[in-house]
Structure 1
Amino acid sequence: MTARQPAVPFILVTVFLDVIGFGLIIPVLPGLIGDFTASRDQQAYWFGALTAAYGLMQFGCAPLLGALSDRFGRRPVLLLSIFGLGCDFLLMALAPNLWVLLLARLLGGATGANFSVANAYIADVTPPEQRGRGFGALGAAFGLGFIVGPMLGGLLGATDVRLPFYVAAGLSLLNAAYGLFVLPESHPVAKRVAFSFARANPFSALWSLAQLRGVGSLIAVYTLFMLAQFVLHATWVLYTTFRFDWTPRENGISLFIVGLVGAVVQGVLLGRLMRHWGERRLVYIGFASGAIAYVAYGLATEGWMMYCIIFANLLSFAAAPALQAQISKAVSPEHQGVAMGSLSSISSLMLVVAPLLASPLLARVSHLPSGDWRIGATFFLSAGLQALALLMAVVHFRRHPLPHTLP
């Protein structure tokens, strides 16, 4: 057991640095694409293509890396994926054209899908009664990395648009080198299983979800909710650049605030909110708040208004965990793993769909004057998706009322 002591901290650091690396490039990637494009619409199309390529590779490779780690062990798959992610960032920093950027994003999506292996490692080295705490620590590392990454990327990008890519590459490569010395194998040879493409199929979880009973339209609600969020994520930086002429520094600060508000709501206030309103009412309130906020983002005429909307919209950050709790309660105990894994698959798939919808829409309005309300079209799309999700949630919960309890 002594040899395993550095393992969990290393996994937490790996997740933290992976997310920092991802967050570092968010405020500056549109600017780097802009160096290779001649117009705003081309910039929007290429940003959407690169984002969708990254999401598609993550969707396909997350179960693949997990299956490979079951066959060959966690250590080699983790170290190779961390090294590959460092190469991805370095390739982006040195990219001479858009096609090299696309190749880098494909590599980054494939190697950055190592969260499934990190989860498996935690499961290997923690006893069942402490496993929830271990997964919670992974979630905290993920959230902290997404708070720090965009802020750091925005500050570095204000100096040089390629500097955040070099920093992200350095962090990943140093982490891979460090892992060579401190990361032991957690999955013994005796427990390894033969590799199977059927187990590595990313659609298998979605197919399993389709077989479940008792979930119903809540899955469609979750899908619409995640699609609305990812449409915002896919267009935030370009929209604020077109609308308010924001720089990477300003975009980094705004994303830092979004991450900070989300962490406070989900890490500090969530329990109190659920006790006060209950999960279903919190879903209603959070969805309604999000729909209104999306409209407000699209109609904002000054950059400072975006910050006000972020703070005013804090209840929407509680909607996702409240909805997930309701889905979990609607599924029988023996199907919990399938249901939660399927929700992750849906999120990954929406990461692909969102830029394919949002980028062409943003490209069509990108030439409008910055004061034209139509330039907020992608946020109005998010508002419509969110409103539809709210309506479907209301219908579902009315058809499935809470059971009465005795006093």
Structure 2
Amino acid sequence: MNDRLLIATLCGLGLLSTTGASLAYPLLAPLFADGGSNGLNSFLGLPPKLLLGIALMVNPVGLLIGSAVLGPLSDGFGRRRALLTTTIGAALGHVLTAAALVSESYLLFLGARFFTGLLEGNGAVMRAIVIERIPGPLRNHALSWLNGAFHLGWLVGPLLAGFSMGGGITLPFYVAAGALLLGSSCVAASLPATAVAPGTDSWWAVARRRHAFTLLGHLPLRTLFTVHFAYACGVASLYEFFPLWLVDVGGYDAREIALVNMGMCALMTSAALFAGRASEREGRRRAALYAAVAAAAILCLGFGNLVLGIMAIIAFGVPHAYYNAALQTWSADQFAHHGQGSVMALLSTTFCLANIVMALVGAVLTLIDTRVVLVLGGVLAAWAAFALRNWSLASAHPGMEGR
């Protein structure tokens, strides 16, 4: 097996998975809010903005479910089979999305976006492959590069939509589908087939009994979920509400917000190239330090002015990239006996859940002040840093930490 080809293939698929999730964002607003009537924005006579909100929500909901079940499924049925199936299926989902846009079928559009999100929740499968297949110190670097590819997709998706939609609103989805099919051929070439694990039931039985949240029956993994969820809520508060903060504080328009987002994504992706370097410091201690720096960046938006806030948004990408690398590699080493697919699925699902929770909480808190959401997020990330450090210290004393 060619390790370089495998790493490049997984990074490409990671990029495409988040690209597919973000692809529709710049395309949907004009369809639903430009004042014209079509089959999408007039479904059942409901308000166009309500229909837009539902259309934006279904993909992340599919991503949440996929993140919870695809990793454990790959533990039983094999990484190659799971990755090929989800990649080809996601390509089909993009084609169905294009068909829905052409026919102006709102229900088909919802189904296609949910189906695509469900299958693009295969990040846990990719991370498990890196952990199991890439030897030595290169493993940590490859895991960090994969994280960087996921980050970059949130920038590439809107750019792909913006540059290719001149050929028609469906062209970006056909481009994404073609790229995924090319990626599936690389998976077939770079990843050897494995047999179904002994005792594995049907895929439905495995998904129902071995989804990521079944790991919460173990005390250390409950602790991992709790601290990572708190940190992820902080991250989600920044991701989801810094555009609104820029509008409130600086009167920024869409182009100016996009430039700030580009700066953050570019720095985050660059940091991920180096975040996998080996360190003598214990993984949770490193993650705690990076979480504390990230929390400080988030709080700068809650208490700072426009210039300080913009600097904090862009700089946030560095500690976040290093936090992901530290926590994921530590979790992979510590909980390997639970199945790498399941462990990585727990981390991915936790992040998806945090995004949904903060979107709901933030929708209420922004009625008071957008800065309230960001202060809450910063406090949660700071608590996660404190909890991670204490957890690491407790593990040095026998009997203080469950195994």
> How high is the TM-score relative to the length of structure 1?
0.70
Kindly report which structure 2 residues correspond to 1:5-404, keeping only aligned pairs within 5 A, or say none: 12-25=11-24, 46=54, 49-50=57-58, 52-63=60-71, 66=74, 70=78, 73=81, 77-78=85-86, 80-87=88-95, 89-90=97-98, 94=102, 96=104, 101-115=109-123, 130=135, 133=138, 137=142, 140-141=145-146, 143-144=148-149, 146-147=151-152, 149-151=154-156, 153-154=158-159, 156-157=161-162, 166-176=171-181, 179=184, 183=188, 186-187=192-193, 195-201=202-208, 204-211=211-218, 217-237=223-243, 239-240=245-246, 244=250, 246-268=252-274, 271=277, 274=279, 279=283, 282-299=286-303, 302=306, 305-313=308-316, 314-324=318-328, 327=331, 331=334, 335=337, 337-338=338-339, 341-359=342-360, 361-362=362-363, 365=366, 374-401=369-396
Q: Aligned partners of 2:7, 2:326: CA distance in 1, in Å?
A: 29
SS of corresponding position for 2:273: helix
Instruction: State, as a whole percentage, how many aligned pairs show the same letter.
Output: 14
Q: Aligned partners of 1:247, 1:158: CA distance in 2, in Å?
A: 19
In 2 relative to 1, CA 83–323 (structure 1 residues): closer, same or farther, beyond 3 Å? Answer: closer
SS of corresponding position for 1:198: helix
In 2 relative to 1, CA 183–221 (structure 1 residues): closer, same or farther, beyond 3 Å? Answer: closer
SS of corresponding position for 2:208: coil
Q: Aligned partners of 2:52, 2:110: CA distance in 1, in Å?
A: 14
Q: Aligned partners of 1:122, 1:281: CA distance in 2, in Å?
A: 23
Contact 2:91 2:178 in 1 (8 A): yes
CA deviation profile, 1:213-253 (whole Å, cap 9, x unmatched) = x5674442122112322343344445545665545544443
SS of corresponding position for 2:204: coil
> How high is the TM-score relative to the length of structure 2?
0.70
In 2 relative to 1, CA 229–71 (structure 1 residues): closer, same or farther, beyond 3 Å? Answer: closer
Q: Aligned partners of 1:206, 1:24: CA distance in 2, in Å?
A: 29
Q: Aligned partners of 2:326, 2:274: CA distance in 1, in Å?
A: 14
Aligned alpha-carbon RMSD (Å): 4.8
Query: Runs of 5+ in structure 1 lacking a partner?
Result: 369-373
SS of corresponding position for 1:201: helix
| Alpha-carbon distance, 1:308 to partner | 0.8
Which stretch of structure 1 is more off in the superposition, 356-365 or 226-235? Answer: 356-365
Q: Aligned partners of 1:164, 1:247: CA distance in 2, in Å?
A: 23
Contact 1:297 1:379 in 2 (8 A): yes
Contact 2:302 2:374 in 1 (8 A): yes
Aligned residues: 385
Q: Aligned partners of 2:128, 2:286: CA distance in 1, in Å?
A: 32
Letter in 2 for 1:375: T
